[in-house]
A and B are shown apart, each in its own frame.
Chain A
Amino acid sequence: QSALTQPPSASGSPGQSVTISCTGTSSDVGGYNYVSWYQQHPGKAPKLIIHEVNVRPSGVPDRFSGSKSGNTASLTVSGLQAEDEADYYCCSYAGSNNFVVFGGGTKVTVL
C-alpha cells in the first residue's frame, strides 16, 4: 500500500485535459511544498516533470502543470497528445524520518 493515494487510471481524447489527484496527509503533501511528479513510459526510467508543487524543469512542455490544496496535490495535462500516454507518479517530501513517499501511480490513456 502506497503512502500517497492516486487513481489507478485516467483517460482523455487528444486535445482534452486530464487531471490526476494525489492525496496524502499533513505529514507529507499537506506539510511541505515539495511535491513532485514523474512520467514513466514502459521500460524507461521515470522523468521529472514537476517539482516543488508547480515548477517545470527546463524542457518540459507547459501543457503540464501542478497545484496543491491541503493534503491533495494535482497534475493537469492540457492538450493531451499521444506521447502523454504513460504512468504518472506523485512524490512528496515527508520529513526527516520518512523523507520521501511515492503514490501508487496513475496510468493515463489517450483515447
Chain B
Amino acid sequence: QVHLVQSAAEVKKPGASVTVSCKTSGYTFTSHGITWVRQAPGQGLEYMGWINPYNSNPKYAQKFQARVIMTTDTSTSTAHLELRSLRSDDTAVYFCARFLTLAAADYWGQGTLVTVSS
C-alpha cells in the first residue's frame, strides 16, 4: 500500500525556518510528483508547489517563491519542505501528497501542524 508519513508538529518563533519531511513507501518514488499544500486554521487549501523526484526539479507557487525550498532524497524516498522567514500567518497544517495526474493528488500525508508564535 502507498503511504506518506510526515514529521511531527513544530513550534517556531517568527523569523525562524522550519523543515517538514514526508517519507513515502509502497510505490516507485521517482514515478510521481510530490506536492505541498497548506491549510491555515479554519481556512481552505493553499497550493505551495511541487517537485519531481525523478530530476529533483521544483516548481514553486509565486507567493512562496522567495521563502520555500523543496527537495527530495531518493535514497530514502523522502520529500522535504523548508519554509524560511516564518511569520504568524504561516501557522497552518502542511500536507504532502502524491500527484496522480495534473492537479490530482491521490495519496496524502497525515499533515504536520506548524505553529509560529513568539
> By the criterion CB–CB under 8 Å, are A34 and B45 in contact?
no
> By the criterion CB–CB under 8 Å, are A105 and B101 in contact?
no
Name B103's contact: one of A36, A40, A46, A104 (CB within 8 Å).
A36
Query: What's the nearest-Cβ distance from chain B to residue A49, in Å?
Result: 10
> By the criterion CB–CB under 8 Å, are B101 and A52 in contact?
yes
Residues of B within 8 A of A52 (CB): 101, 104
- Tell me the complex Cα distance, A51–B106, Å: 9
Query: What's the nearest-Cβ distance from chain B to residue A78, in Å?
Result: 22
> By the criterion CB–CB under 8 Å, are A48 and B104 in contact?
yes
> By the criterion CB–CB under 8 Å, are B62 and A34 in contact?
no
Chain A's interface: helix, strand, loop or mixed, by majority?
strand
> By the criterion CB–CB under 8 Å, are A34 and B101 in contact?
yes
> By the criterion CB–CB under 8 Å, are B104 and A89 in contact?
no
A-B contacts at CB below 8 angstroms, number: 72
> By the criterion CB–CB under 8 Å, are A101 and B47 in contact?
yes
> By the criterion CB–CB under 8 Å, are B47 and A93 in contact?
no
- Tell me the complex Cα distance, A45–B96, Å: 10
> By the criterion CB–CB under 8 Å, are B45 and A99 in contact?
no
Residues of B within 8 A of A103 (CB): 44
Name the residue of chain B whose CB is nearest to the CB of A32. Answer: B102
Using CB atoms and an 8 Å cutoff, list the residues of chain B in contact with chain A.
35, 37, 44-47, 49-50, 59, 61-62, 95, 97, 100-106, 108-111
Subset of 20 A-B contacts with CB under 8 Å: A34-B101, A34-B104, A35-B103, A38-B45, A40-B45, A45-B111, A48-B104, A51-B104, A52-B101, A57-B106, A87-B44, A91-B45, A91-B104, A92-B103, A93-B102, A98-B61, A99-B47, A99-B50, A99-B103, A105-B44
